[in-house]
């Protein structure tokens, strides 16, 4: 095991909350152990180009000016997979770049694609440790950014409720999350949404419509001022009836090769509107309640709001700052210990826990067993509700927690 004297820090994939905490955690832990730390800017694109520039060394003065609580990454990002670079000497180029700047080990924060490159680099003998990062929350471990994103989805969705209620509109909030529904699920529950649609459940729009109609009408009937709304949080990774993702015709693929997803909320709106148009109950109900206006207001409006990159920006939660600092610092400790090719799980008591990166990046989906619980609380998940039948267990031994 050779001694680590200088580390390089890379952040890669989509940005999110907590990345700057990974950087400050790694730099400060490196300094604590007399290890030099530099940033390799712009993800793997920077790593491949290391021979062409000097990666900035992060001194005390510099790290002191990186604010962990701000989203985005001081290190910059790209979605570049090393294996996709056509240069047949790419790994030699990377090794010579690392050697040129005396970098002995890498702290690499990213999601599944980034982690797959960590596996790749390890097989080429390049020492690196992976810090789990993805707002999609679809890794086996907790990943920095997830909590911040969920909180932002919940916050924006709650904020939208007032305008929905004021205009008696139903709102469909579309959120990032790629192929898994974690962020829509947790963010929607956190926002008191009426309905959450996730890729893990094939949506029955008739069920959504009936839930919408019942909830909207009940809400209006119990309001002194005849106000109502209905809030759906929809994951971007939903598929249409033919099993295809919703995409804008010109959206294309990102440089990791993933289809860019967007447009599911508009599809949901059209589905609900088509049921509404055929339903004579609406004009009758609105007439009875004194809201109907011929040719102008014969049924409630439905609007879609894609939150897009807003859920990755802005403030980072304290949870993500703490976990990010754990991840960055723990990665340095693992490198110093000569433990490579692993993903940080967390720091608990005096234990740094980790798992092999190839295990950590296996995609994780929302546990459908949990859905029935929230259906019992009245939420709709786009299917006929299934009864939640709990099992009971007394916990013995240590209760695992991240913080």
Q: Active-site residue numbers? A: 136
Among 178, 186, 213, 325, binds ligand F6P (CB under 6 A): 178
Sheet holding 342-348, edge to edge: 36-39, 6-11, 105-110, 128-132, 342-348, 351-356
Is there binding between residue 18 and ligand F6P (CB under 6 A)? no
> Under rule CB under 6 A, how many of the chain's residues touch ligand F6P?
12
Verify binding: residue 176, ligand F6P, rule CB under 6 A: yes
> Among 87, 254, 301, 359, which residue sits at the site for ligand F6P (rule: CB under 6 A)?
254
Q: CB nearer to ligand F6P: give 74 or 236.
A: 236
Asked if 176 contacts 183 with a C-beta cutoff of 8 angstroms, the reply is yes
* Residue 305 C-beta: closest distance to ligand F6P, Å: 16
- Is position 235 an interface residue for ligand F6P (rule: CB under 6 A)? no
Contact present, 216 and 170 (Cβ < 8 Å): yes
Nearest CB to ligand F6P, comparing residues 143 and 215 = 143
The CB density around residue 390, as the number of other CB atoms within 10 Å, is 9
- Return the number of the residue (76 or 385) whose C-beta is nearest ligand F6P: 76
First to last CA, the chain: 31
- Shortest distance, position 311 Cβ to ligand F6P, whole Å: 8
Asked whether position 248 contacts ligand F6P by CB under 6 A, the answer is: no
**Cα maximum dimension of the chain:** 80
Contacts of 40 (CB under 8 A, 6+ apart): 8, 9, 10, 46, 47, 50, 55, 75, 103, 106
Assess 335 for contact with ligand F6P (CB under 6 A): no
- According to the binding rule CB under 6 A, does residue 74 interact with ligand F6P? no
Q: Give the pairing type, strands 170-175 and 351-356.
A: unpaired
Q: State which of positions 286-325 bind ligand F6P (CB under 6 A).
A: 312
Q: Does 159 interact with ligand F6P (rule: CB under 6 A)?
A: no
CB of 231 to ligand F6P, least distance (A): 20
Q: Please, which residue, 14 or 105, has the CB nearer to ligand F6P?
A: 14
Question: Whose Cβ is closer to ligand F6P: residue 182's or residue 325's?
Answer: 182
Does residue 345 bind ligand F6P (CB under 6 A)?
no
**Out of 171, 232, 261, 332, which residue is the one contacting ligand F6P (CB under 6 A)?**
261
Half-sphere exposure of 74 (CA within 13 A, CB side): 23
Q: Please state, in angstroms and rounded to a whole number, the distance separating the CA atoms of residues 120 and 123.
A: 5
Coil, strand or helix at 399: coil
User: In degrees rounded to 5, what are phi and psi of residue 131?
Assistant: -105, 120
To ligand F6P, the closest distance from the beta carbon of 234 in angstroms equals 13
177 binds ligand F6P (CB under 6 A): yes
138 binds ligand F6P (CB under 6 A): no
Which span (21-29, 128-136, 280-288, 386-394) binds ligand F6P, by CB under 6 A?
Answer: 128-136
Question: Which CB sits closer to ligand F6P, 36 or 236?
Answer: 236
Residue 225, token pair as written in the block:
């001022």
Q: Which residues of 35-61 are buried (b: 16+ CB within 10 A; e: fewer)?
A: bbbbbbbbbbbbbbbbeeeebeebeee
Nearer to ligand F6P, 299 or 310 (CB): 310
327 binds ligand F6P per the rule CB under 6 A: no
SS3 content of the chain, % helix, strand, coil (to 5): 40, 15, 45
* Positions that interact with ligand F6P (CB under 6 A): 14, 111, 134-136, 176-178, 236, 254, 261, 312
């Amino acid at each position: 095991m050779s001694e680590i004297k200088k580390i390089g820090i890379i952040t890669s994939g989509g940005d999110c909350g907590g990345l700057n905490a990974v950087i400050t955690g790694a730099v400060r832990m490196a300094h604590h152990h007399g290890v030099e730390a530099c940033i390799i800017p712009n993800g793997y694109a920077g790593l491949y180009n290391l021979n062409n520039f000097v990666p900035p060394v992060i001194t005390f003065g510099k790290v002191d000016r990186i604010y962990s609580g701000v989203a985005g990454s001081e290190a910059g990002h790209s979605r570049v997979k090393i294996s996709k670079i056509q240069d047949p000497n790419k790994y030699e180029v990377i090794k010579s770049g690392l050697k040129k700047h005396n970098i002995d080990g890498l702290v690499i924060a990213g999601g599944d694609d980034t982690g797959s490159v960590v596996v790749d680099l390890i097989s080429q003998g390049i020492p690196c440790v992976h810090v789990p990062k993805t707002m999609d929350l679809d890794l086996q471990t907790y990943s920095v950014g997830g909590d911040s994103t969920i909180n932002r989805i919940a916050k924006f969705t709650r904020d939208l409720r007032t305008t929905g209620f004021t205009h008696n509109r139903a709102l469909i909030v579309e959120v990032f999350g790629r192929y898994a529904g974690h962020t829509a699920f947790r963010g929607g529950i956190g926002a008191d949404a009426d309905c959450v649609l996730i890729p893990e459940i094939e949506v029955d729009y008739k069920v959504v419509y009936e839930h919408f109609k019942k909830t909207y009408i009940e809400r209006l009937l119990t309001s002194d001022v005849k106000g109502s709304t209905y809030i759906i949080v929809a994951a971007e990774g939903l598929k249409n009836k033919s099993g295809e993702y919703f995409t804008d015709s010109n959206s294309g693929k990102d440089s990791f090769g993933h289809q860019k997803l967007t447009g599911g909320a508009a599809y949901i709106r059209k589905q609900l509107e088509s049921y509404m148009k055929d339903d004579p109950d609406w004009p009758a109900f609105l007439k009875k309640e004194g809201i109907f206006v011929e040719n102008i207001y014969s049924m409630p409006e439905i609007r879609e709001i894609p939150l897009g990159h807003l859920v990755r920006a802005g403030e980072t939660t304290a949870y993500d700052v703490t976990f990010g600092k754990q991840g960055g610092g723990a990665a340095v400790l693992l490198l110093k210990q000569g433990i490579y090719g692993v993903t940080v799980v967390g720091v608990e008591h005096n234990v740094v826990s980790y798992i092999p990166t190839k295990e950590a990046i296996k995609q994780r989906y929302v546990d459908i067993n949990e859905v029935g619980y929230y259906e019992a609380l009245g939420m709709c998940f786009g299917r006929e509700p299934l009864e939640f039948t709990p099992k009971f267990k007394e916990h013995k031994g240590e209760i695992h927690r991240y913080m």
